[in-house]
Structure 1
Amino acid sequence: MILLRQELGDVLRTARQAQGRTLRQVSADARVSLGYLSEIERGQKEASSELLASVTEALGLPLSFVLREVADRIAVAEGVSIPDTVPDSLTEGELAGLH
């Protein structure tokens, strides 16, 4: 089963490690407890939108980048392809009510 919290945690951990930063450094910059951030990264806890915004800011990453990476990973696990742009059929149909 694909879990959003696990994919999100993996993306956050990968980004942090790619920057050569410790969990302690990011937790301090994001003003979130070390233990809680560790649980988020391990996919054990759901991140609130506020916490996610703090962590992505601490990592210097746009929230949209992190969410896109999570969506791409889930799509691969589901075996589907996500287009780079929203198809017209979706814009005119199912998503029309969101604008």
Structure 2
Amino acid sequence: MPILRTELGDVLREARLTQGKTLRDISSAARVSLGYLSEVERGQKEASSELLASISDALDVPMSDLLREVSDRFATAEALEEVAMMPMIPDTAQELLDSMPRR
């Protein structure tokens, strides 16, 4: 299962890079230190809701869009986890017989 701060950092970094902006551009506009913003993007620091609001404003992206993207990533990870936990379907009759409990 993914870690929230890691997924959030990835989403923030992708939004910034998509816009062609640097860490310095966003840190200046959001009034947060460049080092701290870098740690948030790398998933090493948890961002407060106030900090997220400042970063989303600096990116000119609604916070709801950022959080929706994080939510979508979690939903994908959960679905993949469910698939991984599903029992294997035998490919052959022999595999089916081998998977049945013996009496």
- TM-score category (smaller protein): 0.7 to 0.9
Quick one: which amino acid aligns to residue 22 of structure 2? T
**Aligned mates of 1:43, 1:11 — CA distance in 2:** 10
Residue in structure 2 matched with residue 95 of structure 1 by the alignment: none
Q: How many equivalent pairs are there? A: 80
Q: TM-score, normalised by structure 2?
A: 0.76
Matched, 1:10 2:15: no
Deviation at residue 52 of structure 1 after TM alignment: 0.3
Residue in structure 2 matched with residue 61 of structure 1 by the alignment: 61
Quick one: which amino acid aligns to residue 39 of structure 1? E
Residue in structure 2 matched with residue 40 of structure 1 by the alignment: 40
Deviation at residue 2 of structure 1 after TM alignment: 1.3
Aligned CA RMSD, in angstroms, stands at: 0.9
Quick one: which amino acid aligns to residue 44 of structure 1? Q
Quick one: which amino acid aligns to residue 43 of structure 2? G
Residue in structure 1 matched with residue 89 of structure 2 by the alignment: none
Larger gyration radius, structure 1 or structure 2: 2
After superposition, give the CA deviation of every residue in 1:24-61 in whole Å (9 maximum; x if it has no partner).
Answer: 00000000000000000000000000000000000000
Deviation at residue 78 of structure 1 after TM alignment: 1.0
**Aligned mates of 1:10, 1:48 — CA distance in 2:** 16
Residue in structure 2 matched with residue 23 of structure 1 by the alignment: 23
Matched, 1:76 2:76: yes
- Which structure 2 residue ranges, 5 or more long, are not aligned? 81-103
Moved over 4 A (4+): none
- Which structure 1 residue ranges, 5 or more long, are not aligned? 81-99
Deviation at residue 3 of structure 1 after TM alignment: 0.4
Quick one: which amino acid aligns to residue 20 of structure 2? G
